A and B are shown apart, each in its own frame.
Chain A
Amino acid sequence: KAGVTQTPRYLIKTRGQQVTLSCSPISGHRSVSWYQQTPGQGLQFLFEYFSETQRNKGNFPGRFSGRQFSNSRSEMNVSTLELGDSALYLCASSLAGQSNSPLHFGNGTRLTVT
């Protein structure tokens, strides 16, 4: 079974631009979660989607948004990029949501904002 696929692997953007990251979950998984990983803050939860509905949201500004499609694929958007948004963005899928089943992570998208 194919794992979680994130595209692109690397992105370089300029302050003020916006970016869209994509995630394809493991086949059959209905939940997709997004995390931001930085050396200083570690792994921080952004949001979780289940069957196209946002189930939980972390403590991030409204510039960070996401959505999930009917095939469970998910996208994450960051608008008006700031230097501090440089990070590894990790997507994870699970069968029934974070409360009930393990998260399986992709290899991440490394975003650099200059």
Chain B
Amino acid sequence: GEDVEQSLFLSVREGDSSVINCTYTDSSSTYLYWYKQEPGAGLQLLTYIFSNMDMKQDQRLTVLLNKKDKHLSLRIADTQTGDSAIYFCAGGYSTLTFGKGTMLLVSP
């Protein structure tokens, strides 16, 4: 089955860019996803990329996909304190497998 790996923690200053990285094993994923989870809440769909795309931009969010290296990244421009949360990448074909999540801490 799919295996998805993420770094566990990232700390940035407000106004900086944040880059969260993810690697996956299953190249048959149709889509790859980024979700955000705030304390006490469920997962919020942030953005997703079709597997035949290399890049997708959505306001402050940029997703890069390197299919050769099976590497996915999420860049958040002008990071705000409200972006502090846990970010999950997910992929898979018949069922989605989630990484363990990257905790992003944004300090003022």
A contacts, CB < 8 Å to B: 4, 6, 33, 35, 42-43, 45, 48, 56, 58, 90, 92, 98-100, 102-108
Contact = CB atoms under 8 A, between A and B. Distances in A.
B45 A104 contact: yes
B42 A99 contact: no
A103 to B, nearest CB: 6
21 contacts: A6-B42, A42-B98, A42-B99, A42-B100, A42-B101, A43-B43, A43-B98, A45-B96, A56-B95, A90-B42, A92-B43, A98-B92, A99-B30, A99-B94, A102-B31, A102-B33, A103-B43, A103-B45, A105-B35, A107-B41, A108-B42
Determine chain A's interface SS by DSSP, over half rule: strand
B45 A56 contact: no
- Complex A-B, nearest 3 residue pairs according to Cβ-Cβ distance, in ascending order: A105-B42, A43-B98, A105-B43
A102 B94 contact: no
Nearest to B6: A42
B100 A98 contact: no
B93 interface: yes
B88 interface: yes
- B33, B43, B44: most-surrounded residue (chain A CB, <10 A): B43
A102 B97 contact: no
Contacts of A45: 95-97
Contacts of A56: 94-95
Interface residues of B, number: 22
Given A90-B43, A105-B42, A108-B42, A98 B48 contact: no
A102 B44 contact: no
Given A102-B33, A108-B41, 7 more contacts: A92-B43, A102-B45, A102-B48, A105-B35, A105-B45, A106-B42, A107-B40
Contacts of B33: 102-103
A61 to B, nearest CB: 18
A87 to B, nearest CB: 13
A102 B99 CA distance: 16
